[in-house]
């Protein structure tokens, strides 16, 4: 037996006990003829005292950092206690020890603040994982996993494993594929999600399913995306949207309580997609702070009608606004006294390629009620006052305006809002604000990328199994999805169809998304047709699902949470990589394993493939 | 809201309540002007009563089997109660209903005893999963999963996810590989197990790890093997074999208690590999019954010496025994009166190609103390009495003897023992007997398959990370693994090295296996050398692990349980397929999805591969 106690366990009340302990040498401090060693393991640090005789032995064969040590000894009360340490009242008076393994000097320091660069730490991930910060992340991840499982278990969900070697049905993202040796020329695919399987389980009558499951997407990696990622994947039968929102609002609150000790008592806010786009410029607003957008001019439709027509700003001869499709404003409170250089810096910020705007118009509402503005010569004081009023600005505030094409401008102002919120200290790591967003459009218009200018097609905003809102089912069934004229696609009945879908947003991040699913064969076939799939293609790819809908499919719906992201946010971090034990880098490589890598000719031959 | 209660919930005490319920139509029985419907869901069956008015509506639009129905109504006491049903005291007096979905007639009956063949049921797996038997299996699987997690959680284990896209390092079984689009010509592999990752986690200091995790092996599928399978994978630091046996004996007992309600109070039996081979002929004996083998003649070594030299049977002139390497016997109690035709049938059984023996010798010990034997003319009564005594046979018993080459004969008698045990009713589905087997050989001698007769090599019996028993480490380090002479490989010091490994056996099935691992770079390098790996190859494949051992690797060990198999045995079944929601068939195909399948030219091109 290597140990009777771990390094975080012993207290004053254990004084006098004979114990065994094992762990890593954190520090070695020699004081004259005796030596103190801090011994570390997963649970904590315990001070070891080596007396004169043992210190002589240590002098001959010194301990180094990260050596693995096993000691026998007696628990003793410390003369100088350390109140910062849970074991700070005691030390181990070592009677004998053995070095279980030596350690070379690590390539970076294993401390909270390390000197190792990212690449080095990825290569030696097993050492980086020793650092307290990563350990806390990995432990938090397990705590979230455990809490989610416990909640779902209590609510009658059962964990059912779905297969990893499935069929390639590329829709949107690319599949990773796996050549089959036993079926030459054929391939499995790794699942992008267990979507169709969980729906089949609903058809089978397992009315509450979950899985904490790996999913795979062969995408060009953006920062902080991983080719393999984990979902908390859930599905329920005999439910409407409201049932799902309540169930999973409950789950997230339970996780908050269990993992962070936070009582999230209030109801989770709810917002339609249109409202989110209108007020915040994107569909996952960070509502820890206000700073809503003022829509001075926009073609954006709410409830089927255009709400902002630009009356306030058109007609003044300012070409940038006159010619812009969209003009949006933010009111930055108490920033009316910003200097020229501060404003220039903000202008540069919106001109960065990631934001891509041409410029930033500002209106400084002075404390005395007067205005200073970059568009003084086009707008008189009365006009500026009206603009300020529509932005709910008061003397002392700064109004920032962006103009341009609708989509880009809205995206840019959403980014600017987040940036200003960040700079203003509104985005606090330890404040958590949940939000449900729903009533997304079911379809998006996609330009035909094979021949520019030609008629495009509908793509599913979520996925092809998402049901329309009940009121829109008739519209979907009774109309021809074909787009006759690309210019007027917005007038096509399909453009107004809303999805029976919902996203859960936490602090400006989408942490979960789901929908009520189609469960009737006729409607599912109509959906595939709308997405430009022939009957044959639909049968080839999803015949099993269409078949299943023939045999008594119940109404059902579900949700999937991005587990990596959820953990990162709960841990107060932006980087999912710090919450994955063995992540890949931005090129999809495992730096530690050096994978992917070439394989043998023999393997290729067995798989009946060649390199192209 | 579709339902206020599920179909297994309502009792006498609910009578009078207004409820909503949804589920599947199990049966429809019309009695005159009223109709009874059994409504089924995951939780049970509830009887619905449709009165005269509603029955008229049903007459116009009849309900069919497996229709999805939603009803509103009032809970009423039944006039004729059904004691077999948990809801048998009540019925629902239906006030209104709606058909949520229709169902075509299923291709097979959804009953405990179905008329569907295996292929049909695999194709319509979502319907097969509705059957009570499969539902019980899937629920049992979840119960085992949950119990294992709870036990491990209570014992400070944490679930840490390891990657699925890793590096191909084929050792033994073939890897499934995944072409990388972003790294042309390179491949990931799917893990055969998280072995090296869990060892790295030990190096990182996470001293108790577990995962319920999918693993992948591209093997030629034998019956009841799956290309993807699930392990309960565990690893611990600062442990010796005894620590692991105790921890996981505890886990299995906990699972027995939670899932089957069985108090497995006695200590799990323990047996060395040599003892198991000696007494039962294989390394995973079913110890629900005795019927141990008698080794009349064998080159099998125990504790380094040959124990059975054939004194009893040699010299009588019976060529079959004289020339055989091995003669093994079983004593079938109270079968001394077997008829000629019964003995012929057993002889045919051992001659089947799966067993492959030339014949079966029998000695019938008559109730009166005399003998009838197929070898009467070689062995006199005194000799037969001695053989009987060594087999612990008494008057009335039947001794069965097999002779031939050691390996085949031992395997055959092990099979014969199981068959006789089965026929004798000794292998009861609801009796569970656990066994630890340990002290396996570390190496197996493998003939060089590239040139027959040439000098073979050592292969790892378990895997290359298994440590030798502490006493054998010196032997391993201090001897050259090279085999100079194939004929005398048994005399090579490496052939006697024992592994610090252990298997858990349940009712004759290996349900888990593990080992104490090598944690010193020098010993790991020696192991790779012994397995014929060059230094360069070892560094290319496992450089990260050798590197990790440089930085303070702790002593560690672990175990992995075959989750599918464990569930099947606990469920009293031989087939793991019945315990997997969506299994593949024996050709590795998913019959429901029709996968694997060809992929697009575009996909191949993006992956920089071609079909050969």
Contact A142 B124 (CB under 8 A): no
Q: Tell me which residue in A164, A168, A600 faces B214 most closely, judged by beta carbons.
A: A164
Which one of A108, A229, A541, A595 makes the best mutation probe of the B interface by having the most chain B beta carbons within 10 Å? A595
- Say if the Cβ atoms of A551 and B103 lie within 8 Å: yes
Are B19 and B7 in contact by the 8 Å Cβ rule? The answer is no
Spatial separation of the C-alpha atoms in residues A100 and A67, rounded to whole Å: 8
A289-422 CATH pick, 3.40.50.300, 3.30.530.50, 3.40.640.10, 3.30.1360.30? 3.30.1360.30
In chain B, residues with a C-beta closer than 8 Å to the C-beta of A162 are: 581-582
Q: Average pLDDT in the B497-524 region? A: 97
Residue of B175, B599, B190, B181 whose CA lies nearest to A612: B181
Distances (CA, A) of B184 to A585, A599, A605, A611: 17, 12, 17, 9
Q: What angle do CA B213, B214, B219 make, to 5 degrees?
A: 140
Judge whether B553 and B277 are in contact, CB under 8 Å.
no
Strand stretches in A67-220, DSSP E: 68-77, 90-101, 158-159, 177-179, 187-189, 208-216
Q: Do A165 and B239 touch (CB under 8 A)?
A: no
Cα gap B73→B87, rounded to integer Å: 15
Topology of domain B12-101 in CATH is OB fold (Dihydrolipoamide Acetyltransferase, E2P) (2.40.50)
Q: ipTM value of the model?
A: 0.95
Report the C-alpha gap between B523 and B541 in whole angstroms.
16
- Select the residue of A139, A163, A519 nearest B228 (Cβ to Cβ): A163
Query: Chain-wide mean pLDDT for chain B?
Result: 94
Measured CA to CA, the distance from residue B293 to residue B283 in angstroms comes to 13
Q: Given an 8 Å threshold on Cβ–Cβ distance, is B599 in contact with A177?
A: yes
DSSP tag of A465: T
Do A126 and B227 make contact, defined as CB atoms within 8 angstroms?
no
The residue among B595, B598, B604, B606 with the most chain A CBs within 10 A of its CB, best to mutate, is: B595
Domain boundaries, chain A: 12-101, 132-265+561-606, 289-422, 441-498+520-552
Q: What is the pLDDT of residue A113?
A: 78
> pLDDT > 90: what percent of chain B?
84
* pTM exceeding 0.90: yes
3-state secondary structure of A485: coil
**Residues A448, A452, A455: CA angle, nearest 5 degrees:** 45
pLDDT band at B451 (very low <50, low <70, confident <90, very high): low
- The percent of residues above 70 in pLDDT, for chain B, comes to 99
B40 contacts in chain A (CB < 8 Å)? 205
Q: Nearest-5° angle of CA A226, CA A232, CA A234?
A: 135
Q: Which of A18, A22, A25 is nearest to A6 (CA)?
A: A22
Nearest Cβ partner for B165 among A70, A100, A228: A228
- Show the CA angle centred on residue A520, arms to residues A190 and A231, nearest 5°: 30
Task: Tell me the pLDDT tens digit for each residue of B343-376.
Answer: 999 999 999 999 999 999 999 999 999 999 999 8
Q: What is the pLDDT of residues B546-564, one digit of tens each?
A: 999 999 999 999 999 999 9
Residue of chain A nearest B123, judged by CA positions: A544
Inter-chain touch B177–A177, beta carbons under 8 Å: no
Q: What is the pLDDT of residues A159-212, one digit of tens each?
A: 999 999 999 987 678 999 999 999 999 999 999 999 999 999 999 999 999 999
Q: Is residue B182's pLDDT more than 80?
A: yes
pLDDT at B268: 97
Residue A612: which of B67, B598, B609 has the nearest Cβ? Answer: B609
Please tell me whether residue B291 adopts helix, strand or coil conformation.
coil
Lookup result for tokens 């003897």: B401
DSSP string, A495-554: GGPBBSEEEEEETTEEEEEEEEBP--HHHHHHHHHHTT--HHHHHHHHHHHHHHTTBTPP
Is the CB of residue A451 less than 8 Å from the CB of residue A505? no
Question: How many residue pairs from chains A and B have C-beta atoms closer than 8 A?
Answer: 349
CA of B59 vs chain A CAs: smallest distance (Å): 20
Closest-CA distance of chain B to residue A200, Å = 6
d(CA A92, CA A18): 9
- Taking CB atoms and an 8 Å limit, are A103 and B550 in contact across chains? yes
Rounded CA separation A479/B492 (Å): 81
Contact list in A for residue B129 (CB cut-off 8 A) is 200-201, 204-206
Q: Which distant-in-sequence residues (6+ apart) come within 8 Å of A84 by Cβ? A: none
CATH fold, domain A132-265+561-606, is BirA Bifunctional Protein; domain 2 (3.30.930)
Whether residue B190 contacts residue B166, with contact meaning beta carbons closer than 8 Å, is answered with yes
Q: And the tokens for B331?
A: 């004593």
Decide which of B171 and B393 is more confident: B393
Optimal mutation site among A172, A205, A244, A577, interface B, most CBs of chain B within 10 A = A205
Residue ranges of chain A with per-residue pLDDT less than 70:
171, 448-454
- Tell if the CB–CB gap between A553 and B104 is shorter than 8 Å: no
Tokens 């997405």, located at residue: A531
Mutation to test the A interface, candidates B205, B591, B601, most A Cβ within 10 Å: B205
Q: Cβ of B612 and A596 within 8 Å?
A: no
Give the containing element (helix H, strand E) for A473. helix A473-478
Tokens of B176: 């499934």
Taking CA atoms, what residue in B is nearest to A176? B178
Taking CB atoms and an 8 Å limit, are A238 and B101 in contact across chains? Answer: no
Chain mean position to CA A192: 16
All residues of chain B having their beta carbon less than 8 Å from the beta carbon of residue A129 are: 200-201, 204-206
Ranges of beta strands (E only) in B141-290 are 158-159, 177-179, 187-189, 208-216, 228-237, 269-272
Q: Pick B181's closest partner by Cβ from A197, A218, A228.
A: A218
Which residue stretches of B21-69 are H helix?
52-60
Chain-centre distance for alpha carbon A553: 32
The answer to whether A285 touches A269, Cβ cutoff 8 Å, is: no
Cβ within 8 Å, pair B550-A190:
no
Question: B213 vs A304, which has greater pLDDT?
Answer: B213
pLDDT in the model for residue A451: 58
What pLDDT, on a 0 to 100 scale, did the predictor assign at position B450?
58
C-beta atoms of A164 and B216 within 8 A: yes
Contacts of A428 (CB under 8 A, 6+ apart): A288
Judge if the upstream peptide bond of residue B102 is cis by omega within 30 degrees of 0. no
Residue A565: predicted pLDDT: 96
State the average pLDDT over residues B278-303: 94
Q: What is the structure's pLDDT at B454?
A: 66
């Amino acid at each position: 037996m290597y140990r009777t106690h771990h390094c975080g366990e012993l207290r004053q009340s254990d004084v006098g006990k004979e114990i065994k302990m094992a762990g890593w040498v954190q520090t070695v401090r020699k004081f004259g003829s005796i030596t103190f060693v801090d011994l570390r393991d997963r649970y904590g640090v315990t001070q070891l005292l080596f007396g004169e005789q043992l210190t002589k032995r240590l002098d001959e064969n010194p301990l180094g950092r990260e050596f693995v040590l096993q000691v026998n000894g007696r628990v003793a009360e410390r003369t100088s206690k350390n109140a910062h340490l849970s074991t700070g009242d005691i030390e181990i008076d070592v009677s004998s020890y053995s070095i279980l393994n030596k350690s070379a000097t690590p390539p970076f320091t294993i401390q909270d603040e390390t000197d190792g660069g990212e690449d080095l730490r990825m290569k030696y991930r097993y050492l980086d994982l020793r650092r307290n910060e990563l350990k806390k992340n990995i432990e938090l991840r397990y705590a979230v996993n455990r809490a989610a499982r416990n909640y779902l278990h209590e609510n009658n969900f059962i964990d059912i494993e779905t297969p990893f070697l499935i069929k390639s049905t590329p829709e949107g993202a690319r599949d990773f594929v796996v050549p089959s040796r036993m079926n030459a020329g054929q391939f499995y695919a790794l699942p992008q999600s267990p979507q169709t399987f969980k729906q089949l389980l609903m058809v089978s009558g397992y009315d509450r399913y979950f899985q904490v499951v790996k999913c795979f997407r062969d995408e060009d990696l953006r920062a902080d995306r991983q080719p393999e990622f984990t979902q908390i994947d859930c599905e329920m039968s005999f439910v409407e949207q409201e049932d799902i929102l309540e169930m999973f609002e409950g789950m997230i609150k339970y996780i908050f309580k269990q993992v962070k000790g936070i009582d999230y008592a209030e109801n989770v806010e709810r917002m339609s997609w249109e409202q989110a786009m209108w007020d915040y410029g994107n569909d996952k607003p960070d509502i820890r702070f206000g700073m809503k957008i003022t829509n001075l001019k926009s073609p954006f439709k709410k409830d089927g009608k255009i709400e902002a027509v630009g009356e306030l700003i058109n007609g003044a001869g300012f070409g940038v606004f006159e010619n812009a499709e969209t003009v949006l404003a933010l009111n930055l409170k108490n920033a009316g006294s910003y200097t020229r250089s501060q404003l220039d810096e903000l202008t540069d910020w919106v001109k960065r390629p990631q934001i891509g705007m041409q410029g930033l118009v500002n209106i400084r509402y002075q404390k005395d009620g007067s205005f200073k503005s970059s568009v003084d010569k086009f707008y008189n004081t009365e006009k500026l006052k009206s603009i300020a009023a529509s932005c709910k600005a008061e003397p002392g505030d700064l109004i920032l305006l962006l103009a341009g094409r609708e989509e880009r401008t809205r995206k840019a102002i959403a980014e600017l809002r987040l940036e200003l919120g960040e700079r203003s200290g509104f985005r606090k790591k330890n404040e958590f604000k949940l939000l449900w967003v729903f009533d997304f459009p079911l379809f998006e218009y996609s330009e035909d990328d094979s021949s520019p200018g030609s008629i495009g097609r509908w793509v599913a905003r979520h996925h092809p199994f998402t049901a329309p809102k009940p009121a829109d089912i008739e519209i979907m069934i009774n109309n021809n999805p074909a787009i006759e004229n690309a210019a007027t696609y917005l007038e096509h009945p399909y453009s107004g169809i809303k999805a029976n879908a919902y996203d859960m947003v936490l602090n400006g991040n989408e942490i979960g998304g789901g929908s009520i699913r189609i469960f009737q064969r006729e409607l599912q076939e109509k959906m595939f047709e709308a997405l430009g799939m022939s009957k044959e293609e639909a049968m080839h790819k999803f015949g099993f699902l269409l078949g299943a809908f023939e045999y008594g499919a119940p109404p059902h719906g579900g949700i999937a949470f991005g587990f990596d992201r959820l953990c990162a946010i709960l841990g107060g971090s932006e980087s999912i990589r710090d919450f994955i034990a063995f992540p890949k880098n931005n090129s999809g490589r495992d730096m530690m394993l050096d994978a992917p890598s070439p394989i043998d000719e023999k393997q290729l031959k067995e798989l009946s493939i060649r390199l192209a």
